[in-house]
Structure 1
Amino acid sequence: MLLLKIQSFRVWYSPQKIESRFRYHNQIGGTNQVAITDEEGKFNLNTPNQEIRLTFSFIGYQSQTLDLILPTDPLTVLMELEETSLQGVEVFATGYQEIPKERQTGSFVGLDRELINRRISTSILDRLEDVTPGLIFNRTGSTTDPISIRGRSTIFSNAAPLIIIDNFPYDGPIENINPNDVESISILRDAAAASIWGARAGNGVIVITTKKGVRGDSPRVTLVANSTWAERPDPFYQPLMSSSEVVDMERRLFSENFYLNQENSPFRTPLTPVVESLIQNREGLLSNAELQTRLESFRNLDIRNDYRDYLYQSSWNQQYNLNVIGNSGKYGYYLSAGWDENQSNLVGNQSSRYTLLSNQNLNLLDGKLELGLGINYILSTQSGSNNGPSGIRFNGAQPLYAYGSLVDDSGNSTHFTPE
């Protein structure tokens, strides 16, 4: 702070020695009279008024405005430092170096820790979804190309983006990466990435930087625990034809000889139970009363009830992570242990993951040399082969008919039930 003494028209000040070389700007309010202090902090202002308004200002300090009635007793004015905030510099990691946003020449997308942790999920892909421009997710459930950046650039080889973790290529599944260990993510979306990673960057590059001890960090221990529960899917949510409407439609199509080609096909194409029953009635193997009884039984069945009871369940995802981070100036460290247990909304499908991560950094020669050691251990297991309703087919690509059933009258599984 600065100490100013005001007496009559003259102001003396006695600042700290380190600031004695600066000069201060003073002005009478409502006028153009301005005075700058000399090296001793003195200045003069001439005014005919008894009531004046003085404004004191200096770079780095908050301006002070005082209303005075002259003559006045010596007055002390304390000037406080002005709080200034430096805007953060956005940095992108290319897997080879970190460069500011204004220096990057390609198409980049950066995600910081706050954006990554916005969604609670055990999968890093779920946290990238809907917050990363240019990252395309395959909504059809394909396991070969779940994500893409620049579209499909090849037909026969791997079309997945290149993944870089802490400046090294990673060939494992991206789902094995623990989101709690990720500090930032950069997406390289154009051909400029090929200047760094060559032909492997043709499908785009995902650069992941894990957490490390930052200089000045005191040792901190963090425990993260979250659990997500979701109700089982409702197969009746999507409006579809009812079983009764499907039976009436097949009966009308049969009367118009729609199934005649399938009946005469040398490949013996399977026909639905309604069509088979209509054929038996036409050939006299089934009476009209028996046909009506059988069709009514079909109308009372709905395969969506079995989907709900035997294929779907409530999902429950659990995530636990314990990490220690710190930096003593020359030595920084980050230790993390995580456990995830996920129960899918499909009966029998579940997965678990155990992760251990250790990042050690040692600065030598006054920061000119840095030695780093990183160890990352991942153990991931998956069980279950339930693909849901999409895995149950009646005839090739044709889905199971609406009046089908996954169990018989005794509750035993039919051949449509997935193993």
Structure 2
Amino acid sequence: MKTFISPLSILLLAFGLVVGNQVKAQQTVTGTVMDSNKLPIPYASIIEKGTTNGVSSDFDGKFTINVNSLNKSVLNVSYVGFVAQSITLNGRSSLSIILKEDVETLDEIVVVGYGTQKKSDVTGAVSSADIEAFKEAPNTNIAQSLQGVVPGLNVGQVTSAGATPSIRIRGASTISGNSNVLIVLDGIQYNGSLSSLNPDNIESIDVLKDASSTAVYGAQAANGVLLITTKSGKKNKKPVISFSTSYTSQGPNVNLRPMRRNEYLEKVRALNYEDAYLGPDFTTPNPDFDLADYVDGTMVDGDGNLLDNDYDWWDEGTRTGYIIENKASVAGGGDNVSYLLSIGHTDQKGFILNDNFQRKNIRVNVDIDATDWWKVGIQTFGSFVNQDGDEPNIWELVTSSPLLTPYDDEGNLILSPFNTIQLNPFLAYDVQDLERHDSFFANLYSEIDFGFIKGLKYRVNFGNNYRIDKYYGSSEYGAGFTGDAGKNINFYYDYTLDNILTYNRTFNKHDLGLTLLYGAIERKGESTNAYTNGFERLTLGYNSLELGANQFTSSSAFSEQLNYQMFRLNYKFDNRYLLTGTIRRDGFSGFAANNKYGYFPSGAFGWIASNEQFLDNVEWINNLKLRVGYGVSGNQTSRYNSLASLGTRAAYVFGDGGTPAFGQELSSLPNADLKWERTTGLNIGMDFGFINNRINGNVEVYRNITNDLLFSVAIPYITGFERINTNVGKIENKGVEISLTGDIVRSNDFNWTTTLNFSTNKNEILELTGQDEDGDGVEDDLISSGLFIGESLGTYYNYETDGIYQVGEENIPDGYFPGTFRVVDQNGDGEITPVDDRVVLGRSEPAYRFSILNTFSHKNLSLSFFLNSIQGGSDSYLGYNSNVLYTSDNSIRFNYLSGIDYWQPNNPNGVNPISSTAPTITPPIYMDRSFVRLQDVSLRYSFDQELLDKLSLSGLSLFLSGKNLATWTSWRGWDPETNQGLTNGGRPVLKGYSIGLNVSF
């Protein structure tokens, strides 16, 4: 029988290792920790040497600690950015401790991929996210804490409970290749959802942005890398138990809702304005017009009168959302072990009914010094996500008429109040729905320090991801109201095995670091689906599928493998000149036989100019470093793209007048030469710190070129195939990034810090297929795919408009009418045609982004607010926002959002067309999505040490926070960042207010 040692057993062992110190009579020492300017240092660590006895200084730098002996005890005092001190008490019970700033450690340690570096030694574009500033924001997903905090890291908004926002680093660099950012969790590539991670467990997030820094991850790093490190305990520190709880109330950040009865009826009148008003100007009401003659017959009673209902479908299908979070952890360590155990529970109810998200999680991190040369450890978590429940159909909630109701006189749901194909929106809500996502992650490592060769270490990481996804459901209204039910279950597993050999030595003025890596990844997945319909009864729902008359099953599976090798050299001379060189070789099973492997080299140089003698006397320059990096990273294809694919279509006709017979045929050609996309990037950067590091930041300028774009090229069907996956084209991606932090005010009682981030990014298609079919010597655009040489990937190419045709206007072209858009005739030939009259209108990508974080602190009170903005200028950051109505049965029948500014003869300046007849061409309208958002506000009060001592607590604070409190924009609709205009199917971004408590002891 196998013996299994659980992570909890390891944790209990860790606790046991720290127990055993003899109880001694203790004596009290008080003191204050300050910097060289005699300003207090809060949260400095004070530990009695040789024990686990330790405390932290309070907001005023003061501390109280019980020690074993006033004569012999030694206190180790430390804080990030300062030189640690060891102080022998020699009988003293009161201390004033001055910590000296350490230039070497003033900038923090950052994770750089397969290791860490001091920020002062980094040569690539690596940024650390300030997640501490948003730890009390109502963010159920850690990615929400990254919105706007790192220039070049672009994180979108969310509109569903627990959802993961879109994440992109430095814009788009591919057409159809993988565009996902690579996520590395505790050193292991992570392919799960970020919604499975408890944000409270995250210690730091570092962002690798340029080819020099991402080259260590080779083939999967063309879109940048997020390095996530979770929290751990600290050695020689007594256990610290922390607990936090919070409640958040949420609602839409814009007040959009469907029309109520009166506005709905005015909409019907507007769509029939030629009957509702008297000509010729159609501004005088027609006294003979009766709305009952124009609405759908379901909205009229037996006497021909309008139903008197004013039912609020939107109010019945929505609610005030909320988030309840409870998190607890214990962390500490002994001489040879450190540990962290964390549990959490998050319950979020979204604005739409049944938009539910519930997460339970547990994490255990343990590090053990087995000997003085051997370390072992584990970082592991389990996450259990519950998203049961199916929402009412949002589009149907908006479009259902307020003159109708969802229930009959007996309280039963009406299947279709309209008696048409539009169903009752609450049918989707009144179902059986189970959605569960169980995730398990474990990284086990072992590290050996070879004492016989100083500086040589070997580490092996074995990471495992396992995920189970379940989607079960049944509905008595499904399959044409015959009832249907089904179960879909997916299993996913991957492992990563990394062998890492490092060598770090200092020889006089030379610092040398070498890293060798050999690793492999395997990913496997399988899915089983069972579906049935045609039930006589559906009492047992999806748990009795055999009762359905029609039964269907399907299944699938996949497996893919990667292996890789990497060598990295880090060299520093005289603490002034830095050199980094990397080469990585990647192999992927999904690539074609002739190109299984790719090579990705990079190099970077750094110059710490502030350490040169000629700047020694320039007192206001504390840090000045220049960097330049150049490298190649890759992008891999989907696992089967190099192979031929089969499709099913009408293939044969037997005999004259026979019906087509379906068959399978090859729809795409195989390509044995399909190869990796390659992104070559140049990055030039500068890091600086001025005026005693009161002002610090960095500037990055970059230019990336992506070659051999993975693209599905259409080929003439006469060949017997529709397409071939191949490598074509070239894209340029360039931009500027600036981050600036300043200590505006630094005093005993009041501090004010501001961080400003700014970034620009623009991509441009340089080459496509290379074809010149019209023979003009210029490469052809792929108009049908929306791709144009010299333009961005997000180019909008369509008709330009110039207002709306008015009643009585002369020379309205054939096919157009009062109330329709006036389309610009670009070539002046009197006709509107797709070939000659469509132009580039702009692009979807923004012109620039900026954010401002202000943090104020006065004694025990701290306040921060964060402004985030995306700007487009005249022709950038455009979004589709057309709201056109033409008279038809459905446009009269359906409801729409309230407050839309429709054109009418009596409202000639209305911006949204209404016409009794659809025109020949209805061009889409694109609007500027620029906005400034008050994204986060947080107010915290930390209680005095005197009260904490009375309560035997090490920390106690109360906080209030707000999310998405105000948005300033000219965009009309749900939210500019989500690119949802005045659409009936839109979802709101949620505004939230939180209150919470943090306790530690």
User: With structure 1 as the length reference, what TM-score do the two structures score?
Assistant: 0.61
Aligned residue type for 2:326: Y
Distance 1:114 1:234 in 2: 25
SS at match of 2:238: coil
Distance 1:116 1:122 in 2: 12
Distance 1:115 1:325 in 2: 22
Distance 2:296 2:186 in 1: 69
Q: Which residue of 1 aligns with 2:266?
A: 245
Of 218, 224, 231, which residue of structure 2 is paired with 1:211?
A: 231
SS at match of 1:347: coil
1:328 deviates by 1.2
1:208 deviates by 0.8
Aligned residue type for 1:372: G
Q: Which residue of 2 aligns with 1:326?
A: 332
Q: Which residue of 2 aligns with 1:189?
A: 209
Q: Sequence identity of aligned pairs in percent?
A: 23
C-alpha distance 362-235 of structure 1, shift in aligned 2 (>3 A): closer
Structure 1 position 336 matched with structure 2 position 354: no
C-alpha distance 238-134 of structure 1, shift in aligned 2 (>3 A): farther
Of 163, 181, 186, which residue of structure 1 is paired with 2:183?
A: 163
Matches within 5 A, 1:100-249: 100-112=118-130, 114-139=132-157, 146-156=166-176, 158-230=178-250, 232-233=251-252, 236-237=255-256, 242-249=263-270
**Is residue 251–residue 275 contact of structure 1 (8 Å, CA) maintained in 2?**
no
Q: Which residue of 1 aligns with 2:379?
A: 374
**Is residue 406–residue 416 contact of structure 1 (8 Å, CA) maintained in 2?**
no
Larger Rg: 1
Distance 1:383 1:208 in 2: 29
Q: Which residue of 2 aligns with 1:32?
A: none
Distance 1:236 1:357 in 2: 40
Distance 1:140 1:153 in 2: 23
Q: Which residue of 2 aligns with 1:392?
A: 396
Of 68, 91, 111, which residue of structure 2 is paired with 1:93?
A: 111
Q: Which residue of 1 aligns with 2:425?
A: 417
Distance 1:336 1:81 in 2: 36
Distance 1:114 1:144 in 2: 19
Distance 2:354 2:296 in 1: 40
**Is residue 95–residue 166 contact of structure 1 (8 Å, CA) maintained in 2?**
no
**Is residue 113–residue 227 contact of structure 2 (8 Å, CA) maintained in 1?**
yes
Q: Which residue of 2 aligns with 1:84?
A: 99
**Is residue 335–residue 359 contact of structure 1 (8 Å, CA) maintained in 2?**
yes
Distance 1:386 1:406 in 2: 18
1:149 deviates by 2.1
Q: Structure 1: which 5+ residue stretches go unaligned? A: 1-79, 257-273, 282-286, 394-398
**Is residue 118–residue 127 contact of structure 1 (8 Å, CA) maintained in 2?**
no
1:306 deviates by 1.5
Distance 1:212 1:144 in 2: 25
**Is residue 350–residue 384 contact of structure 1 (8 Å, CA) maintained in 2?**
yes
Which string of whole-angstrom CA distances, capped at 9 and with x for unpartnered residues, describes residues 152-191 of structure 1? 4445454321111110011100111001111111122233
Q: Which residue of 2 aligns with 1:24?
A: none
Which string of whole-angstrom CA distances, capped at 9 and with x for unpartnered residues, describes residues 296-320 of structure 1? x58x747xx3101x22112121222
1:107 deviates by 2.4
SS at match of 2:137: coil
Matches within 5 A, 1:232-381: 232-233=251-252, 236-237=255-256, 242-252=263-273, 277-278=293-294, 293-294=305-306, 297=307, 301=310, 305-308=312-315, 310-363=316-369, 366=372, 368-381=373-386
**Is residue 120–residue 127 contact of structure 1 (8 Å, CA) maintained in 2?**
no
1:103 deviates by 2.2
Distance 2:152 2:223 in 1: 12
Which string of whole-angstrom CA distances, capped at 9 and with x for unpartnered residues, describes residues 263-283 of structure 1? xxxxxxxxxxx99943999xx
1:207 deviates by 1.0
Distance 1:329 1:379 in 2: 34
C-alpha distance 140-124 of structure 1, shift in aligned 2 (>3 A): closer
Distance 1:81 1:345 in 2: 54
Distance 1:387 1:279 in 2: 25
Distance 2:403 2:149 in 1: 41
Q: Which residue of 2 aligns with 1:70?
A: none
**Is residue 112–residue 183 contact of structure 1 (8 Å, CA) maintained in 2?**
no
Aligned residue type for 1:278: Y
C-alpha distance 312-224 of structure 1, shift in aligned 2 (>3 A): same
SS at match of 1:218: strand
User: Does 115-124 or 328-337 show the bigger shift?
Assistant: 115-124
**Is residue 144–residue 157 contact of structure 2 (8 Å, CA) maintained in 1?**
no
1:365 deviates by 5.2
1:104 deviates by 2.0
**Is residue 95–residue 165 contact of structure 1 (8 Å, CA) maintained in 2?**
no
1:377 deviates by 1.3
C-alpha distance 280-327 of structure 1, shift in aligned 2 (>3 A): closer
SS at match of 1:203: coil
1:151 deviates by 2.9
SS at match of 2:222: helix
Which string of whole-angstrom CA distances, capped at 9 and with x for unpartnered residues, describes residues 67-92 of structure 1? xxxxxxxxxxxxx9772342543222
User: With structure 2 as the length reference, what TM-score do the two structures score?
Assistant: 0.27
1:383 deviates by 1.7
**Is residue 346–residue 388 contact of structure 1 (8 Å, CA) maintained in 2?**
no
SS at match of 1:377: strand
**Is residue 338–residue 354 contact of structure 1 (8 Å, CA) maintained in 2?**
yes
SS at match of 1:346: coil
User: Does 177-186 or 408-417 show the bigger shift?
Assistant: 408-417
C-alpha distance 131-146 of structure 1, shift in aligned 2 (>3 A): same
C-alpha distance 254-218 of structure 1, shift in aligned 2 (>3 A): farther
1:408 deviates by 5.2
1:348 deviates by 1.6
C-alpha distance 369-83 of structure 1, shift in aligned 2 (>3 A): same
**Is residue 144–residue 155 contact of structure 2 (8 Å, CA) maintained in 1?**
no
Q: Structure 2: which 5+ residue stretches go unaligned? A: 1-94, 278-289, 418-422, 429-1001
**RMSD in angstroms over aligned alpha carbons?**
3.7
Distance 2:361 2:245 in 1: 15
Q: Which residue of 1 aligns with 2:497?
A: none
C-alpha distance 117-240 of structure 1, shift in aligned 2 (>3 A): same
**Is residue 223–residue 320 contact of structure 1 (8 Å, CA) maintained in 2?**
yes
Aligned residue type for 2:98: E
